[in-house]
Structure 1
Amino acid sequence: MRILLLGARGQLGRALFSALCRDYPHWQVTALGRAACDITDPGALIGALNRHQPDVILNGAAYTAVDLAEAKPELAERINHQAVALLAWEASARGALLVHFSTDYVFDGSGSDPWCEADAPSPLNVYGASKLAGEQVIRALCPHHLIVRTSWLYGGEGSYFARTILRRANEGQPLEVVADQWGAPTQVDWLATSVLLALPQVVKAPDKGGLYHLCPAGETSWHGFASALVEESCRLGLLARPVPIKPIPSANWPQAARRPLNSRLDCRRFATVFGIQIPAWEVLMSRWLASQCEGG
């Protein structure tokens, strides 16, 4: 099976490439970062597809700067929607499976029940709107697709909430963290591994494709996640001592983009269709922190 991984230098792209190399050495994998294939450049994208003739396209490329997107809506639209439209069209024309990643931010965060795939999206910010537009154009143009919505990604390369919390805690800085936004932190390597477990099933049985939610089991707030990170890091010896973490409402932490208060996702469909057991977010967090002790 020929796999073309786009966005291979980003947080998710690196995790996907690592899992592909580790678990699927028999697959023919080509991994391209933005320098090798900018998906907003039609010539570059079509050229890469012509050269590599993939059976499966893994799209790890996205514009994910949620707050900056409010000031640069055209850029978010170009990467998360317009480029994805071309990718969907080309994948369909070539008979390739398109695997794409989306976000809990397509929802408005109302209520407290977990969102399921059939619930109507209503994004609060430019980033969420651009990701929803990308989903919709894939579903319209490319019948053979797998779209995975996830939430609160951490781990791997780059800057993200968990890394920031641990850095500031290590510096002994007291923390203030939002306590009224709820969801499930998703460890990026687990996400990549889980999606790749589902991939061969969708290739063999295209009717298993479609839209899915995937994040760990359970729920917490950003404050709960930060508290758990610090507590477990102290237990493992990653931190010498705990730091105070003050819970605050979202109104006390103003940001350019509004965030949904309820980012809970119902992932039962993914677990049932693909026969994959979904662990608790605390378990994955502990494993990730333990890997940091080992230099992983």
Structure 2
Amino acid sequence: MRILVTGKNGQIGRCLVEQLSTMSDITLLALDRDQLDITDSINVNKVVAEFIPNIIINAAAYTAVDKAEKERELAYAVNRDGPYNLAVAANNINAIIIHISTDYVFAGYSVAAYVETDDTEPQSEYGRSKLAGEQAVERACSRHIILRTGWAFAEQGHNFVNTMLRLTKTTDTLDVVADQFGSPTYAGDIANAIMIITKQLADGNQAYGVYHYSGFPYVSWHAFAEKIFELALAQGVLKQSIQVNPVTTPDYPTPAKRPANSRLNCQKINQEFGIVQSDWQAALVRIGQYSR
């Protein structure tokens, strides 16, 4: 099986490359932005036509949620046009595309965890650009998996865990939003879920469509931060306790509006592929390995 991975230096991309590289039955081509600009349709078609992958996994994305409010054109170029180019190229050679999307395609008004068929109503330019990317992939290639996830974190990279640990270098008191709820998800587990899907697709499973995959239990950003500091203190990563003050969304204004509830219901992916939700707390136990 031949697999093309884009965005190899991102959080999920790194984990994908690490896991796929251990499989002897896979020929892997993993590229970063400098090697393959997915917004360049001519180059995308050239790379795909030359490599002829069975599966394309798009881990490339514009993820600067707040900056997207001003960098709208760039966000749409990477999150909509890039996935479309990859999906067209996949369709041209009858390949499968697996595209990673986000919980921010939802408005956040629901009191329940979102299922795949719920109405989307993104509240930010980032969310709208990601939804546009989903729609572009659906139009361009019928053999697609769109995997929505949320609150991704890993040992390396820009994410909430590493941001919290970095801030402890300069303060022992933090204000963290307590009225936004979601699903922290370890990037290594997202990569593993994609690996499982990839293997089953290769074996003939044709359950194409949109899926949710995220961590459990659901928490607020405030509760997530408290768990990070609890484990960091217990393992000696922190030398003293951090006071985490719960604040409301209006108390902590940001350029982009975030959904109050972006919890994802992951029953469908369990039913179709046997994949269980990520245990994000287990991943955090290795907090000594995270960037500080």
The 3-state SS of whatever aligns with 1:189 is: helix
Return the offset for 1:171: 4.0
The question of whether the paired residues in 1 share the 8 Å contact of 2:2 and 2:52 is answered with: yes
Match of 1:196 in 2: 195
Say whether residues 1:114 and 2:113 are aligned partners: yes
| In 1, Cα distance between equivalents of 2:7 and 2:280 | 26
Match of 2:63 in 1: 64
Match of 2:6 in 1: 6
Return the offset for 1:8: 1.0
Give the aligned CA root-mean-square deviation in angstroms: 1.5
| In 2, Cα distance between equivalents of 1:203 and 1:132 | 27
Match of 2:132 in 1: 133
Return the offset for 1:3: 0.6
Return the offset for 1:25: 3.1
Match of 1:27 in 2: 26
| In 2, Cα distance between equivalents of 1:124 and 1:26 | 42
| In 2, Cα distance between equivalents of 1:133 and 1:277 | 27
The 3-state SS of whatever aligns with 2:127 is: helix
| In 2, Cα distance between equivalents of 1:227 and 1:79 | 34
| In 1, Cα distance between equivalents of 2:65 and 2:46 | 30
The alignment-based identity, stated in percent, is 36
Say whether residues 1:18 and 2:7 are aligned partners: no
More displaced stretch, 56-65 vs 156-165: 156-165
| In 2, Cα distance between equivalents of 1:103 and 1:278 | 15
Q: Runs of 4 or more off by more than 4 Å in structure 1?
A: none
Say whether residues 1:289 and 2:283 are aligned partners: no
Match of 2:175 in 1: 176
The question of whether the paired residues in 2 share the 8 Å contact of 1:110 and 1:262 is answered with: yes
| In 2, Cα distance between equivalents of 1:25 and 1:108 | 42
Matches within 5 A, 1:231-242: 231-242=230-241
* Letter aligned with residue 289 of structure 1: I
Return the offset for 1:291: 4.4
| Unpaired segments ≥5 residues, structure 2 | none
TM-score w.r.t. the length of structure 2 is 0.95
| In 1, Cα distance between equivalents of 2:242 and 2:255 | 28
Return the offset for 1:290: 5.4
Say whether residues 1:45 and 2:44 are aligned partners: yes
| In 1, Cα distance between equivalents of 2:27 and 2:70 | 40
Match of 2:245 in 1: 246
The question of whether the paired residues in 1 share the 8 Å contact of 2:7 and 2:59 is answered with: yes
Return the offset for 1:158: 1.9
| In 2, Cα distance between equivalents of 1:238 and 1:198 | 36
The question of whether the paired residues in 2 share the 8 Å contact of 1:194 and 1:276 is answered with: yes
| In 1, Cα distance between equivalents of 2:152 and 2:162 | 11
| In 2, Cα distance between equivalents of 1:280 and 1:9 | 23
| In 2, Cα distance between equivalents of 1:139 and 1:46 | 18
| In 2, Cα distance between equivalents of 1:99 and 1:193 | 13
TM-score w.r.t. the length of structure 1 is 0.94
Return the offset for 1:40: 0.8
* Letter aligned with residue 235 of structure 1: A
The question of whether the paired residues in 2 share the 8 Å contact of 1:97 and 1:203 is answered with: no
The 3-state SS of whatever aligns with 2:259 is: coil
Return the offset for 1:206: 4.5
1:209-235 Cα shifts (integer Å, max 9, x gaps): 211000112210000000000001111
1:93-123 Cα shifts (integer Å, max 9, x gaps): 2111101000000000002200000101000
| In 2, Cα distance between equivalents of 1:155 and 1:237 | 19
| In 1, Cα distance between equivalents of 2:97 and 2:135 | 13
Answer 1 or 2: which has greater helix percent: 1
1:157-202 Cα shifts (integer Å, max 9, x gaps): 3221110111222444311100000011111111111211121112
| In 1, Cα distance between equivalents of 2:199 and 2:139 | 23
Return the offset for 1:261: 0.4
| In 2, Cα distance between equivalents of 1:88 and 1:27 | 21
Return the offset for 1:42: 1.7
